[in-house]
């Protein structure tokens, strides 16, 4: 069950909870106030509940966040996205990655490391299809051409990263420092090979 990592920090969208029975949204300025307000609301309306009210509220808050915000704010049973939209921001990031890669002299990680990464991505719930702007997808997909004939045994399962939108078949071969140039602001899940802290 998902829960918030830090109850003292307001999650994206602030402290609010939509009561599933009535559809009414209840808000507060702190987590404790939200739990109190929801409890009061339910008592006033004769609504009963089972288990921890706080856990129910946290699960709902985490469930409405996008993948990036979920990873940044929640723990436990993250809900992966079904696809990742690739847009102008991704293209700019891609160009930044390529610029950094070229200026660092290019180079790829060892094949063994690429295969280790590919195996992790292949089993990752954030390894998803790209969708959206076709021109952007074409540009982002061009990174594959830079790789020459490099591949891994997991290529058939590699799609796009649901966090940053990177194309999996390519990124597993690139040095971490190069990839970092375009990944500031992204929080990767704990099992991700791109996570550096
Ligand atoms: S880069 Fe990390 S978060 Fe993205 S698909 Fe691969 S393992 Fe998952």
Q: What is the mean pLDDT of each run of 10 residues along the chain (197 residues)?
A: 90 93 94 96 94 93 81 75 67 71 79 94 84 61 67 90 83 86 76 81
What spacing in Å lies between the alpha carbon of 124 and ligand 1's midpoint? 6
What spacing in Å lies between the alpha carbon of 118 and ligand 1's midpoint? 9
Rounded to whole angstroms, how far apart are CA atoms 63 and 51? 18
Residue 116 pLDDT: 95
Which helix (DSSP H) or strand (DSSP E) does residue 30 occupy? none
Which residue has its alpha carbon closest to ligand 1 atom 6? 121
- Domain ranges for the chain, please list them: 3-75, 83-181
**Tokens 């998902």 — which residue?**
2
**Is the entire prediction scored with pTM above 0.85?**
no
Residue 129 pLDDT: 79
Residue 165 pLDDT: 77
CA angle 163–166–170, rounded 5-degree value: 145
Q: Which residue out of 115, 127, 130, 189 has the highest number of ligand 1 atoms within 8 Å of its CB and is therefore the one to mutate?
A: 127
Residue 188 pLDDT: 85
């Amino acid at each position: 069950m998902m829960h918030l990592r830090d109850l003292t920090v307001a999650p994206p969208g602030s402290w609010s909870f939509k009561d599933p029975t009535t559809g009414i949204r209840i808000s507060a300025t702190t987590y404790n106030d939200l739990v109190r307000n929801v409890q009061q609301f339910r008592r006033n309306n004769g609504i009963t509940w089972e288990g921890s009210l706080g856990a129910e509220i946290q699960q709902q808050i985490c469930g409405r966040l996008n993948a990036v915000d979920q990873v940044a704010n929640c723990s436990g049973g993250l809900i992966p996205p079904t696809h990742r939209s690739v847009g102008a921001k991704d293209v700019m990031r891609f160009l930044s990655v390529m610029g950094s890669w070229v200026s660092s002299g290019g180079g790829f990680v060892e094949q063994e490391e690429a295969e280790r990464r590919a195996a992790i991505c292949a089993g990752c719930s954030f390894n998803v299809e790209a969708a959206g702007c076709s021109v952007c997808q074409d540009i982002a997909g061009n990174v594959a051409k830079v790789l020459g004939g490099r591949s891994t045994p997991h290529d058939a399962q590699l799609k796009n990263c649901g966090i940053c939108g990177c194309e999996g078949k390519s990124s597993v071969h690139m040095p971490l420092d190069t990839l970092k140039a375009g990944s500031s602001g992204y929080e990767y899940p704990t099992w991700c090979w791109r996570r550096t802290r």
